[in-house]
């Protein structure tokens, strides 16, 4: 095969690869709309992926922050119930590409029989994923004299270097429902990054 033939084969392969990539992106966009698809893979016989997370997500009353979001989904999203992909889909093109890359990697290892369910979030949500719904935290006028909430202080809405999910752990279940599903020890550890009095033993 001459140089021209090799160039044609390379162009055809590139075109086919791009077409399959676009088709794969579109097909997975459709499939991801269904939470059952998101946890359909079985990591061992009879045990679906993220079984406990899905159970807690669907629990009523909610046992996790994600479950609380799901329970109030009809007031948060135009389509009604909140789905896994609404938080885990990526809010920007770069975020979507990141999600697709991780999904493709996981699918490859699943098909190869080498996939293990992750014990923690390998690629945590970005703040932009949370800000799709929680765009801003403005101070509320309140004459009651109460202390302002965390996000009512302007300094806490600056670039703190603390991501939303570092305090708001969506799928944790050993949390205080009355404290907005926050884990006190986790939050204190984040506060201690700026406020030494919150450090252990402080």
- Domain range summary for the chain, segments of one domain joined by +: 32-198
> Cα(44)–Cα(191) distance, rounded to whole angstroms?
39
Spatial distance between the Cα atoms of 52 and 63, rounded to a whole number of angstroms: 11
Q: What is the pTM of this model?
A: 0.78
Helix (H, G, I), strand (E, B) or coil at 88: helix
The better pLDDT of the pair 2, 173 is held by: 173
Q: Which residue has the higher pLDDT, 172 or 152?
A: 172
CA dist 121 and 98 (Å) reads: 14
How large is the average pLDDT for residues 72-98? 82
Residue 25's pLDDT band, with cuts at 50, 70 and 90, is confident
Q: Is 147 helix (H, G, I), strand (E, B) or coil?
A: coil
Q: pLDDT per residue over 36-56, tens digit each?
A: 998 988 887 778 999 999 999
pLDDT at 136: 67
Confidence tier at 79 by pLDDT (50, 70, 90): low
**Does the pLDDT value for residue 94 go beyond 70?**
yes
pLDDT, position 75: 56
- Cα–Cα dist 48/27, whole Å: 21
Contact assessment for residue 69 and residue 87, using Cβ atoms and an 8 Å cutoff: yes
180: pLDDT strictly greater than 60: yes
């Amino acid at each position: 095969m001459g140089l021209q033939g090799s160039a044609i084969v390379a162009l055809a392969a590139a075109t086919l690869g791009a077409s399959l990539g676009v088709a794969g992106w579109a097909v997975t966009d459709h499939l991801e709309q269904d939470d059952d698809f998101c946890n359909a893979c079985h990591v061992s016989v009879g045990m679906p992926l993220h079984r406990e997370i899905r159970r807690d997500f669907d629990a009523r009353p909610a046992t996790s922050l994600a479950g609380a979001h799901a329970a109030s989904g009809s007031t948060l999203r135009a389509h009604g119930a909140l789905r896994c992909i609404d938080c885990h889909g990526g809010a920007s093109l770069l975020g979507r590409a990141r999600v697709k890359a991780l999904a493709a990697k996981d699918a490859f290892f699943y098909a190869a029989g080498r996939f293990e369910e992750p014990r923690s979030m390998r690629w945590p949500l970005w703040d932009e994923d949370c800000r799709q719904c929680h765009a801003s935290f403005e101070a509320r006028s309140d004459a009651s004299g109460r202390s302002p909430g965390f996000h009512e202080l302007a300094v806490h809405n600056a670039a703190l270097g603390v991501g939303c999910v570092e305090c708001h752990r969506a799928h944790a279940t050993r949390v205080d429902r009355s404290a907005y599903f926050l884990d006190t020890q986790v939050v204190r550890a984040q506060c201690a990054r700026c406020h030494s009095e919150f450090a252990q033993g402080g």
